[in-house]
Amino acid sequence: MLFLPEDRTYLNYEDMIKNESQMPADKRIDFVTIVTPNFAHFAPAMLALENGFNVVIEKPMTFTLDEAKQLQKKVEETGLSLCLTHTYSGYPMVKQAKAMFAKGMFGKIRKIWVEYPQGWLSKLSEREGNAQAAWRTDPKKSGKAGAMGDIGTHAWHLAEYISGLKVTKLCADLNVLVEGRALDDDGNVLLKFDNGAAGCLMASQVAAGDENALKIRVYGELGSVEWAQHEPNTLLVKWLDKPTEIYRAGQAYLSDITKANCRTPGGHPEGYLEAFGNIYHNFALSLMAKMNGEEPTAAMMDYPKVDEGVRGMAFIDAVVASGQSDKKWTEFVV
Amino acid sequence: MLFLPEDRTYLNYEDMIKNESQMPADKRIDFVTIVTPNFAHFAPAMLALENGFNVVIEKPMTFTLDEAKQLQKKVEETGLSLCLTHTYSGYPMVKQAKAMFAKGMFGKIRKIWVEYPQGWLSKLSEREGNAQAAWRTDPKKSGKAGAMGDIGTHAWHLAEYISGLKVTKLCADLNVLVEGRALDDDGNVLLKFDNGAAGCLMASQVAAGDENALKIRVYGELGSVEWAQHEPNTLLVKWLDKPTEIYRAGQAYLSDITKANCRTPGGHPEGYLEAFGNIYHNFALSLMAKMNGEEPTAAMMDYPKVDEGVRGMAFIDAVVASGQSDKKWTEFVV
Amino acid sequence: MLFLPEDRTYLNYEDMIKNESQMPADKRIDFVTIVTPNFAHFAPAMLALENGFNVVIEKPMTFTLDEAKQLQKKVEETGLSLCLTHTYSGYPMVKQAKAMFAKGMFGKIRKIWVEYPQGWLSKLSEREGNAQAAWRTDPKKSGKAGAMGDIGTHAWHLAEYISGLKVTKLCADLNVLVEGRALDDDGNVLLKFDNGAAGCLMASQVAAGDENALKIRVYGELGSVEWAQHEPNTLLVKWLDKPTEIYRAGQAYLSDITKANCRTPGGHPEGYLEAFGNIYHNFALSLMAKMNGEEPTAAMMDYPKVDEGVRGMAFIDAVVASGQSDKKWTEFVV
Amino acid sequence: MLFLPEDRTYLNYEDMIKNESQMPADKRIDFVTIVTPNFAHFAPAMLALENGFNVVIEKPMTFTLDEAKQLQKKVEETGLSLCLTHTYSGYPMVKQAKAMFAKGMFGKIRKIWVEYPQGWLSKLSEREGNAQAAWRTDPKKSGKAGAMGDIGTHAWHLAEYISGLKVTKLCADLNVLVEGRALDDDGNVLLKFDNGAAGCLMASQVAAGDENALKIRVYGELGSVEWAQHEPNTLLVKWLDKPTEIYRAGQAYLSDITKANCRTPGGHPEGYLEAFGNIYHNFALSLMAKMNGEEPTAAMMDYPKVDEGVRGMAFIDAVVASGQSDKKWTEFVV
């Protein structure tokens, strides 16, 4: 029971957007949230934008790269805001890593390793009544990629988010490791970044016994960071010539933007829901500022946007093309 | 001070082999150990074999694949024993992982991830008087590969040793990430195994802040194992539908071959030197058995041999060829 | 901005309780939450109960044991519900530990170790404008105990909650380790439980460098559990003759009551706020059931209650008395 | 097969000492090692000292405090060396902790927690043919303490070794938790140190599921250290206002004495046998120096000696007396 007023509870998004757009500006909804399967992202998002509503949308942003570019164009035209829920970029210690690289504390980045093993699709669960598995492994609902679209995009986003670099080309080995599956359930991808750094991205949904083990390591000339989603309140900061440091959420020595995304004092663990909350919270703060005619701060604007959604779809295109190619390298173009 | 008899301390290997081979059979040395840089492996090994001495040799076994095959042929001709010190295969919990896959406890293997990041070559140390760095980064002493030869071969060996599978093709991205270096100091390699499993191997010596962080994960249909050299007495055993188990060295529930390679009761950590010791110990036991006219047991014969040395050199050849190729896949041929 | 109606936002609790109690039953508030310093718990709680309101209250429940007993009597008279926010008992994996002992999976309990080191009072912060430090170290606001009242009570509660046992006597060494402090900032306590088990409880707020490191280990004849608040989604389950198991939140193999307190699938970490939420959630569900004339389930009733609040105050009394005594053992009496 | 000369392999210690003492000084053994059960320490140690041999001896040093004092007196009279194998003080990272406190890096020590849980005596194994269990639980062979003598002494020693402090009084709760056992198999002990610091020591051999989990935390005004034997190559160094640091064996930033006790570069784990080796190695170096008429360095003299053996026996006496006393505090007197 969500205590929503009955006359504003709708059976479909068309009714909602039509009805809400006819309400006075100070009554109508501020934004629409789209958490449907991938194939059902574009239409409601476009309709919302066309009718003046800001949008929060699940990743991958759309079904195709073309749809993504249409949304991007509409956002630019309307000046509305679109927030893409790459949840893991909402964790405070991810933001700490980003802040440390932005300050140049580790020198030039040389190497990025990001891995995302899950085990939950180790069986053919899509044939056993698992609804989450069913749409994610169905090309008509999920798009042209399976594991790479579902979690590979998270891994790719985290790499670009923390490093501030962009992938320029890649070499993908995509696999269907459970017989009978229609989309990739595993993949290993070599990466090159725009500063010359090398990388490797691994995503698998058949890593039997792993839960949701997203982990990233970014290596610079002077040191490196390591962050794992299973222990999200810890960031390992490693150095060439001195002891590894354990940075912890909620501590005074963190960057301002990190602290703005912590709710509790050190030692009171926060988790996935708070990371998700940070994405929404920053988005909402930036929206409120805009509504009040104020300039949102950098901290408020720290949420994934439509451009990252377009790049995510381009990542899927490149990774699938590479998976089918005999050439070593495939360009990552948007 | 090693308390060696003065008249049997030699200035070079030629003298040693000549002199020892003239001693009575019950007095002469049982085997020769070669721990020189790679370019100086073949000649003493071949001379030793030609004069009837067994050989223990550092990896990679030789400077070139051709030399490796010559040693292999000589070992076959003479019936002598050659032990290759792939140290990490000497750890008890590595043997436990091997034993569990051999028993089929995890079903068919689907995926292998093996990573070996070190940070000690993050600077151009070979120009700053570091002798270990100097020969390892010199193509005339190390061979055609740098990091891939020095530690990539360990990672590759561990993958084949634990899984019982063989790499059939690979796709390598080799990098020189420290300017001015003559050989690869970093590489990411996509792998395919002979049962169709996918794999990924990473080796880097510019992973600033990492020590010697060899780690392997092998995923089967029903579960997986994870082993990291930094905590070598622990093997994580993960399952699809039940809690992960922490297998520990020295415990009664381990396989016989694992227990034969443990010296201390559970909770008394063993380390790198004991793993090294296990390689030598097993080799020595097998030699003693042979000398006594007995058949060495499987446990005694559990040390890396000349065939693994040949495959290791073929791995280097394939990885370097792939690194220079525009094709995605390069065959791994011996 | 909490979007509360202006005419129901009150300046003090007396006004609130008076005004709300005059509203129609279906409009008035369902319960009162008291999160003031310890000395200001009793009066609002008693007034709320006297006026028919259920109560949620911070621990320790009151300023004195006598106050606690008055609240207990009032709860019994009125049939109202009182919920005591011993947050850490809200963690799912704590409930899993409790469930496993309740089922007898480890045999008779022999030993309980519970430790709660914090470092945040390592300096005389109460003199440097830290408001949280100021009242907690002030006997007039905090009561007769410092660290033992603030966090020792949590540790004691966790021990009784998981084990189902009761402390019968104790031997306390209470210390003021920062000169100039008015109340204990550290203590070590030997415990005896009603089944004969031995125990040890440590609480410190001068453990420089520790955050909020509550940890408990409970040992039975056949095995034991270990849970640490810093990694709350993990419960180590250890056995005499087989590998330690890593139980994880969100997994299908957990007890029903554990699963009812998980919000996310395995691998999506939950934290302190969700544990707090579980206390409130269970309390609210039980209240709703009662209001609907239904019997709350055991899962709904799984929140700390007034009896635990009375025992908590008795713990403080016993620990302070023991700290001042030359006798080894002091009875824990309610 | 240890390749010992047949004519110097003896059936009992009397023969050995008699025969060896008649050999020329440059041929005879340098020291005697005593690794018998506790009741059989004193006689061979005393005979060795009386005949001019240095002694290495297992802990606890003797069967009674009186014996220990006799050995101490004899060592002082003869000027010979006695080394007590408190193995855990041989770990490099334990020495690092000691060095950091000696330098005053953490300010005054306020608190020491040391715990030593083992699970191997969770059953009445002494009745099931376990020889190690049999003598350790037999008062005639082990002495007046069980777990406290066997492992409590290690924990006590580690606390004094790292901190440089001395225990002045204690309050012990000793337990027999497995019915039918003749000696304590568990104990919790409150401690006071000579600088006023508080402490707590726990030792148990019925901690079902634990291996050999010795762990110590020492808290100063400015920070603290944490070391656990299960991961001996790591020392956690925690600070009030900055990130925790992970000090690692084999690294250049360690103290000189730490580095002198490391054999391998960082990331090549060393373990229990190397810690044991360090004790012997330092003892042997100091002996060689003395034989050569040189002054042994501080690093060479860093091994446990007869005075620590006497204090260890006094610890057992105090802990057993306290366990039987109704008074809270028992003096720790030598």
In this structure, the number of other CB atoms found within 10 A of the CB of residue A253 comes to 14
Distance CA B251, CA B268 (A): 11
Question: What spatial distance separates the first Cα and last Cα of chain D, rounded to whole Å?
Answer: 43
- The per-residue pLDDT for C292 is 95
Match 């924990």 to its residue by tokens.
D155
Match 């080191």 to its residue by tokens.
C117
Q: Which two tokens stand for residue A23?
A: 């309400």
Point out the residue among C213, C233, C250 whose CB comes nearest to the CB of A267.
Answer: C213
- Tell me, yes or no, if the pTM score tops 0.90: yes
Distance from the Cα of residue C268 to its chain's centroid: 25
Q: Which residues in chain C are closer than 8 Å to D237, comparing Cβ atoms?
A: 209
Q: Which residues in chain C are closer than 8 Å to D207, comparing Cβ atoms?
A: 111, 217, 219, 224
Q: Which residues contact B11 (CB under 8 A, 6 or more apart)?
A: none
From the list D246, A93, D229, A99, the residue with the least C-alpha distance to C209 is D246
Q: Which two tokens stand for residue C24?
A: 């129609």
Closest chain C residue to D239 measured between Cα atoms? C209
- B/e letters for C303-316, b = 16+ CB within 10 Å, e = fewer, are bbebebbbbbbbbb
State the smallest CA–CA distance between residue C31 and chain B in angstroms.
40
pLDDT for A1 beyond 70: no
pLDDT for A2 beyond 80: no
CB contact under 8 A, A208 and B106: yes
pLDDT for B74 beyond 90: yes
Closest chain C residue to A118 measured between Cα atoms? C267
Closest chain A residue to B120 measured between Cα atoms? A240
Query: In percent, how much of chain D has pLDDT > 70?
Result: 100
What are the tens digits of pLDDT across the range A253-284? 999 999 999 999 999 999 999 999 999 999 99
Best to test chain A binding among D231, D233, D246, D258 (most A CBs inside 10 Å): D246
Q: Tell which wins on pLDDT, B185 or D128.
A: B185
Where are any strands of DSSP class E within chain A?
31-34, 54-57, 82-84, 109-117, 167-175, 186-193, 198-204, 215-220, 223-228, 234-239, 244-248, 330-331
pLDDT band at A4 (very low <50, low <70, confident <90, very high): confident
Which ipTM score applies to this complex?
A: 0.96
CB contact under 8 A, D237 and A248: no
In this structure, the number of other CB atoms found within 10 A of the CB of residue A131 comes to 10
Q: Which residues contact A117 (CB under 8 A, 6 or more apart)?
A: A202, A203, A204, A207, A210, A213, B217, B219
In this structure, the number of other CB atoms found within 10 A of the CB of residue D268 comes to 22
Point out the residue among D244, D248, D251 whose CB comes nearest to the CB of A246.
Answer: D244
- Chain B contact present for C247, CB below 8 A: yes
Q: Which residues in chain B are closer than 8 Å to C267, comparing Cβ atoms?
A: none
pLDDT for D106 beyond 70: yes
| Interface chains of chain C (3 or more CB pairs under 8 Å) | A, B, D
Q: Which two tokens stand for residue C141?
A: 């606001």
pLDDT for D2 beyond 90: no
Query: What is the sign, positive or negative, of the torsion defined by CA atoms of B62, B65, B67, B72?
Result: positive
State the smallest CA–CA distance between residue B334 and chain D in angstroms.
31
Match 């194998």 to its residue by tokens.
D85
3-state secondary structure of B183: coil
pLDDT band at D1 (very low <50, low <70, confident <90, very high): low
3-state secondary structure of D179: coil
State the smallest CA–CA distance between residue D243 and chain A in angstroms.
5
- Chain C contact present for A215, CB below 8 A: no
CB contact under 8 A, A244 and D241: no
Distance CA C282, CA C284 (A): 5
Point out the residue among D209, D244, D325 whose CB comes nearest to the CB of C328.
Answer: D325
CA-to-CA dists, residue C298 to A267, C93, C163, C287, D23, angstroms: 30, 17, 17, 13, 81
Q: What average pLDDT does chain D have?
A: 97
The single-letter DSSP state of residue D73 is H
Classify burial at B180, counting beta carbons within 10 Å of its beta carbon; exposed 0-12, middle 13-18, buried 19 or more: exposed
CA-to-CA dists, residue D69 to D42, D74, D148, D313, angstroms: 11, 9, 20, 9
What are the tens digits of pLDDT across the range D27-82? 999 999 999 999 999 999 999 999 999 999 999 999 999 999 999 999 999 999 99
What are the tens digits of pLDDT across the range B77-133? 999 999 999 999 999 999 999 999 999 999 999 999 999 999 999 999 999 889 899
pLDDT band at D326 (very low <50, low <70, confident <90, very high): very high
Dihedral angle, C-alpha B147, B150, B152, B153, nearest 10 °:
150
3-state secondary structure of C76: helix
What are the tens digits of pLDDT across the range C174-206? 999 999 999 999 999 999 999 999 999 999 999
- The per-residue pLDDT for C2 is 76
Closest chain A residue to B322 measured between Cα atoms? A328
What are the tens digits of pLDDT across the range D289-320? 999 999 999 999 999 999 999 999 999 999 99
Q: What angle do CA C208, C200, D332 make, to 5 degrees?
A: 80
Contact between B329 and A188 (Cβ < 8 Å):
no
Q: Which residues contact B222 (CB under 8 A, 6 or more apart)?
A: A122, A208, B105, B106, B107, B239, B240
What are the tens digits of pLDDT across the range B225-281? 999 999 999 999 999 999 999 999 999 999 999 999 999 999 999 999 999 999 999
- Chain D contact present for C6, CB below 8 A: no
Point out the residue among A243, A251, A253 whose CB comes nearest to the CB of D245.
Answer: A243
State the smallest CA–CA distance between residue C203 and chain D in angstroms.
11
Q: Which residues in chain B are closer than 8 Å to A206, comparing Cβ atoms?
A: 110-111, 219
Q: Which residues in chain B are closer than 8 Å to C251, comparing Cβ atoms?
A: 243
Q: Which residues of chain C have pLDDT under 50?
A: none
pLDDT for A240 beyond 70: yes
Cα atoms found within 13 Å of the Cα of residue C210, Cβ hemisphere only: 27
pLDDT band at B1 (very low <50, low <70, confident <90, very high): low
CB contact under 8 A, A272 and C268: yes
Which residues between 270 and 299 in chain D have a beta carbon less than 8 angstroms from any beta carbon of chain B?
Answer: 270-274
pLDDT for B54 beyond 80: yes
| Interface chains of chain B (3 or more CB pairs under 8 Å) | A, C, D
State the smallest CA–CA distance between residue C103 and chain B in angstroms.
18
Point out the residue among B190, B200, B221 whose CB comes nearest to the CB of A122.
Answer: B221
In this structure, the number of other CB atoms found within 10 A of the CB of residue C291 comes to 12
From the list B313, B115, B324, the residue with the least C-alpha distance to B204 is B115
3-state secondary structure of D51: coil
- Peptide bond preceding A60 in cis form (omega within 30 of 0): yes
Point out the residue among A241, A244, A253 whose CB comes nearest to the CB of D242.
Answer: A253
Total residues found in chain B within this entry: 334
pLDDT band at A3 (very low <50, low <70, confident <90, very high): confident
- The per-residue pLDDT for D218 is 98
- The per-residue pLDDT for A12 is 96
State the smallest CA–CA distance between residue B155 and chain A in angstroms.
16
Query: In percent, how much of chain A has pLDDT > 90?
Result: 96
What are the tens digits of pLDDT across the range D184-201? 999 999 999 999 999 999
